[in-house]
Amino acid sequence: MVGLGPKPPPSRKGTGHLSDIPKDLKKEIENLERLFTVDQTKLKAITKHFVSELDKGLSVEGGSIPMNPTWVMSFPDGYETGTFLALDMGGTNLRVCEITLTDQKSEFDIIQSKYRMPEELKVGQSEELWDYIADCVNQFIETHHDDVSKLDKLPLGFTFSYPATQNYIDEGILQRWTKGFDIAGVEGKNVVPMFEAALAAKGTPIKLAALINDTTGTLIASAYTDTKMKIGCIFGTGCNAAYMENAGSIPKLAHMNLPADMPMAINCEWGAFDNEHKVLPRTPYDIIIDNDSPRPGQQAFEKMIAGLYLGELLRLIMVDLHDNHETHIFANQDISKLRRAYTLDSSFLSAIEEDPWENLQETSELFNEKLGINPTHPELCLVRRAAELIGTRAARLSACGVAAISIKKDYKTCHVGADGSVFNKYPHFKERGAQALKEILDWPDKKDPKEEDPIEILAAEDGSGVGAALIAALTLKRVQAGNLSGILHPENFV
């Protein structure tokens, strides 16, 4: 930025001077706008279909959205206590935490370490994955405890953020890998024994108390400090939500004869919404992403929204406009780096959308450094508009899921706790999502801009750390109280 003086305030949120853009590029921009814009009517149609698909997922026959019962059967009251380990196996990082829920209402202490999840492990062998995870847990315990041999077995909440069937809270039968993972021999199996075997081999003193999804953790952790929280969402590498259902409204659990008003957190796994491609406005770029992914036909909704795919969408657009269209953007430049799949992540789009300069100086530098490309100014304007369209579509489609749960549960007002890199870091994601919710639910204009929306999506508490510890605590409490459904195998009930 040398020589440019202080940054001017961003003068506008849109693209540079569209009037400077040659006609052919303008035509491409209009085409992208047509492909990526989801208007109010479409948002409402998607939401309507979403509501019926949520119901279908709870039915005995089931549907695309798994709607997994989690055996998390209450909200915390703020008086949970104890020390717990939490392991978060996310899409990008591994995190190990030790959380102490203190005697003070809703207060906790936390120590944590983060470990990178090596790319090769995501598509490698099952044993290597569990061994690496056990190593990280072991390393964490050895760093934070003096004499591990004297340590009592610590209860652990394992945040395993993939669709998993749970007949009990301490099991997770992986339905399918998502977020680009592709490790043979795990789908269809309970991951807990695999994880426990790796821990046992290292003599790690841990007892798994609960396997949880990051969305359920987010819901519980957020409700710990805010009783208006009704939905937990993740908008990160993947995307998904959880909410509290009544057992009586879950036909696929009818055989368990649970009291109708017994709460049961449902991990929706809404990334799988519209796998049949009935309503989502997929573009040719979405179709390529799906076809080239390890699980074609799966996670249709997630692939249009989640952080893992936003950079890839932009990359595919740019390669297409270079190769196949009359405009030939980046003509006569070496685009070999851009040709590499998944070379751009969502932070690339964030940086473009955040570029405050009228001449898109920072975007230009980014292209130079990362891709070895020198775009012209009109090309930069096109790229900026493409990023805006991708980011806006992601936020607006996400709102359909939140609206669908709210309509299904008849929540007229509530808080929604959201976490994940896209929610926390992607510029304007929150505002765009809030605007879409307003359009779907027909809220009147606010009198005062500071007023809360009836349904407000807020930054969540740490779900996969504190949430996991709370769920472990709630599970132990349930055991002590003798409410063992979803904990003990029925043959062990006396």
Our CB check for ligand BGC shows the closer of 162 and 224 to be 162
Our CB check for ligand BGC shows the closer of 36 and 160 to be 160
Q: Which residues contact 47 (CB under 8 A, 6 or more apart)?
A: 400, 403, 404, 407, 440
Work out how close the CB of 434 gets to ligand BGC at its nearest, in angstroms, rounded to a whole number. 21
Q: What b/e sequence results for 422-454 when a residue is b if at least 16 CB atoms lie within 10 Å of its CB, and e otherwise?
A: bbeebbbbbebbbbbbbbbbeeeeeeeeeeeee
Q: Which of 196, 214, 355, 461 binds ligand BGC (CB under 6 A)?
A: 214
Q: Which of 70, 215, 283, 350 binds ligand BGC (CB under 6 A)?
A: 215
Cα dihedral 254→259→263→267 (10° resolution): -10
Q: Give the Cα separation of 436 and 429 in Å (integer).
A: 11
Q: Is position 463 an interface residue for ligand BGC (rule: CB under 6 A)?
A: no
**Residue 147: burial class (beta carbons within 10 Å; 0-12, 13-18, 19+):** exposed
Q: Which residues contact 353 (CB under 8 A, 6 or more apart)?
A: 384, 387, 388, 391, 426, 427, 428
Q: Give the Cα separation of 262 and 351 in Å (integer).
A: 46
Q: Give the Cα separation of 259 and 296 in Å (integer).
A: 39
Our CB check for ligand BGC shows the closer of 161 and 327 to be 161
Q: Which of 67, 194, 229, 234 binds ligand BGC (CB under 6 A)?
A: 234
Q: Is position 293 an interface residue for ligand BGC (rule: CB under 6 A)?
A: no
> x/- string (CB under 6 A) for ligand BGC, residues 319-358?
----------------------------------------
Work out how close the CB of 241 gets to ligand BGC at its nearest, in angstroms, rounded to a whole number. 8
Helix H or strand E encompassing 24: helix 23-36
Q: Give the Cα separation of 394 and 425 in Å (integer).
A: 14
> x/- string (CB under 6 A) for ligand BGC, residues 235-274?
-x-xxx----------------------------x-x---
Work out how close the CB of 306 gets to ligand BGC at its nearest, in angstroms, rounded to a whole number. 7
Q: Give the Cα separation of 112 and 483 in Å (integer).
A: 32
Residue 208 CA to its chain's centroid (Å): 24
Work out how close the CB of 466 gets to ligand BGC at its nearest, in angstroms, rounded to a whole number. 16
Q: Which of 15, 50, 69, 179 binds ligand BGC (CB under 6 A)?
A: 179
Our CB check for ligand BGC shows the closer of 71 and 367 to be 71
Number of residues that bind ligand BGC (CB under 6 A): 17
Q: Which residues bind ligand BGC (CB under 6 A)?
A: 91, 161-163, 178-179, 213-215, 234, 236, 238-240, 269, 271, 302
